[in-house]
Structure 1
Amino acid sequence: MTDETPFQIDGFCHLALVCSDMRRTVDFYSGLLGLPLVKTLELPDGGGQHFFFEVSPGSYLAFFWFPDAPDPVPGVSSAADMPGYGEITSAVGSMNHVAFTIPEDRFEDYKERLDAAGVRTGFILNHDDSPWGVAAKMHPGVFIRSLYFLDPDGILLELAAWTREIGPDEARHEPRTAADRTARVVPAEA
């Protein structure tokens, strides 16, 4: 940490999401993906549960189960589908997707495992700086490879592997502002 750094942030402690069925969530994240379930809490006054899965030492994926949580609204509270299959836009303040780091040489194996378990998966994508942001084949400009899939509650997940070092010269786009957006109006249910 330098004197100019306002906070010493060493990584993510946890990301907390909401599920509809904690048993199914444990089966998926611990049983299928192999993330150890390391901490469970019952919330006071029947308020629900809070469970933690270890992703790597000191980093956790946590889930709340609330007995009265509203149903998800794909395309608002989360992406409606996977890249290449449908709309990936979600609302301001929503959690769009969670990406897990994997070894680059395991994509095909992990895709086969997910497919065999009945999990709907997308394509293995080679992200690059081309106009479409994705290349059909690997090349030196590919900076990350991805495989997207959905958890039982429709949470968009990604298996990802960096394929090269990312340098400071790659942060070159001017940030857009609220004035640059046109908010999509979501019609109220009748």
Structure 2
Amino acid sequence: MSSNPIFDFKGLDHVALTCSDMKQTVDFYHGKLGMPVLHTIEYYDDQNNVLGQHWFFGVGDQSNPDAHIAFFWWKDGYQSISKDEVVTGKKPANRFARPVGGMLHLNLRVAPENLRSYAEKLTALGLPYRHVTRYRTDISEKQATGLVTQGMRGITTKNEYHEPDEGWLMNSVYVFDPDGIEVEFNSWSPEWRHWRNDHLPRSNRQA
């Protein structure tokens, strides 16, 4: 097997996709396919109205226990408008929504001690990147995007690596390929394994 002389990837960590109804998605991947729910996250606006959810479904491979499929669901997203309206370019009410069934990014796992040098390699290669470190917090904070992730905050820099503070959960560098596909280099801290997985899946009928 050929090895990678530039980046030491530890495997495909996950692919992030969008769904039209999280309850139906959970029923399929967890209920029918038996994939364990590893983690769940909810997103809110600053009036505490739910805007979306993010669920992580484990593949179940004991040799790669963190491998998963990630799904995002957005309230008032593309599922709320017709296919004809999508074709003509109409946007849904939720500005964070992405087209249903679309891939948001793919994630390649890396060792945490390598992420700084990998960011420096991206700079040397002339590839712009975004560096995001996420932390647990008791006070939900509104991010620069306008989303509030309950229990989590993120620190973002562009084309500059910042050393994570103690207690980080995820440390990620994002870069785009020539076709605009976002590729994430990511490390998880051991604390991430204790993140909650008990949100109730949202359905468009109850959202």
Q: What TM-score bracket applies, with the shorter chain setting the length?
A: 0.3 to 0.5
TM-score, with structure 1 as normaliser: 0.44
Higher-Rg member (1/2): 1
- Bigger relative CO (Cα 8 Å, ≥ 6 apart): 2
Structure-2-length-normalised TM-score: 0.41
Q: Relative to total residues, which structure has the larger strand share, 1 or 2?
A: 2
